[in-house]
Each structure stands twice: as structure tokens, then as C-alpha cells.
Amino acid sequence: MPGTDETERMRLNRMAAALYMTCQGNLFLLSGEEFARTKDGLEDSYNASIALNRLDWEQAWKNRDLVEYYKGLIALRSRLPGLYDKSPHAAERIRDMEKSEGLVSFAVDNCSEEGRDRWDMLRIIYNSSSSVRNLPVGDGAWEILCSGEDSSLWRTHNPAGKSIQIEPQSVLVLGRALGDAGTTETEIEETQERQIRWA
């Protein structure tokens, strides 16, 4: 992208990845995008050199922070039935959409058929603006699952509080903790045992 420095390009790369990984439906990733492979912008490289088409493992090592961000997103998404639901009723899970200049947020019903998930509701916020934005979180025990810098926050407990800051050009994913919507102690204990197995 002309006029952007490396830091901004990496931030926008993380935002793009988090944006499509928090949408419903099947994902399609291009090999090497997790370490910012570009093929120098060539759209059709079928007859280009090996140097252009190969996977550059040195670049993968250089951009290992981006690789880790992708890994965290993929692992998080696999724990969010509200996003990987492929039923005809998947769209009904999306609610409470709000839009303003450079900001989109919505809630996702995250309950599975078993009904014992770590987070019963998600709040996903996209901030495409170049400024920090503040939003009220709402009632409940909300946790930060993913930010523009760290996609593995869900692995530990990161309470969100009553309002939250969204960094510029980033995606924020919040989860309402199981137990806040009237679940029993037994269900919470079972979920915690599963969480240990997930880690």
C-alpha cells in the first residue's frame, strides 16, 4: 500500500484477517498470507519465476508475530459455534448491529446445540478509523478474546469492564462468560474442565 509504513501494513493485515475470521461461513486462506506473502502484487503468477511463487520461509520467520496472530485467530474461531454454524438459520445468530463513522459492531449468539460453551454471546467490533474509539460493553461478565495486537487473549481471563477502547484500524472480539446467563455450577465446572483440555 503506497504511503503506509511497515507497522501500519502489519496492523492492517491483522485487521483484515480478524475481519474475515469473525464472519460466518467457510474460510479460504491463500498459502503464505499468514506471513504477508504478496507475490509483489502480481495477480496471475502461473508463469512467473520460482523466486516469486515459492514460500519464503525467511519472510515467515521475519513476520512470525503475524503468523502467531493467525494461529490465535484460527484456534479462537474453532471455539465459536456462532461463527462456524453452517445451518440455514446461521444468520439469525447475528443481532444488535450498530454502525457509525468507521465503526461497526454486532452481537453473535454463540450457544451450540449442547448449550455448554465457554461464552454464550459474542460482541464483535470493527474500527476502520485512524483514532481510538470508546464503546460501552453492556451488562454481563465480558472478556476480551481478541484485540488488534493479540489474538490469543481468550486463553486467559481478560475482563472487559463496563466500557472498552478499540484501537485504530483493528478488530476487537468480546465474549460473555458462561455463568453470567443463569448456568449452574456443574455446567461451569464441566466447561472449565473442557477449557483445560483445549489449551
Residues in the chain with pLDDT values less than 50 = 181-184, 187, 190-192, 194-199
CB 18 within 8 A of CB 10: no
Q: What totals of helices (H) and strands (E) does the chain contain, helices first?
A: 6, 7
Tracing cell 455448554 back to the chain, one arrives at: 116
Residue 199: the pLDDT is: 36
Q: Show the cell assigned to 100.
A: 457509525
**Order of all β-strands in the sheet with 142-146:** 94-100, 103-109, 119-127, 170-177, 142-146
Residue 191: the pLDDT is: 44
Residue 115: the pLDDT is: 65
Task: For residue 138, give the 3-state DSSP assignment.
Answer: coil
Residue 38: the pLDDT is: 81
164: left (phi over 0), alpha (psi -120 to 50) or beta: beta
Q: Show the cell assigned to 94.
A: 447475528
CB 173 within 8 A of CB 22: yes
- Residues in CB range of 146: below 8 A, 6 or more apart: 18, 72, 73, 76, 152, 153, 154, 171, 172, 173
Please state, in angstroms and rounded to a whole number, the distance separating the CA atoms of residues 15 and 31: 18
Residue 1: the pLDDT is: 52
Residue 196: the pLDDT is: 44
Residue 194: the pLDDT is: 40
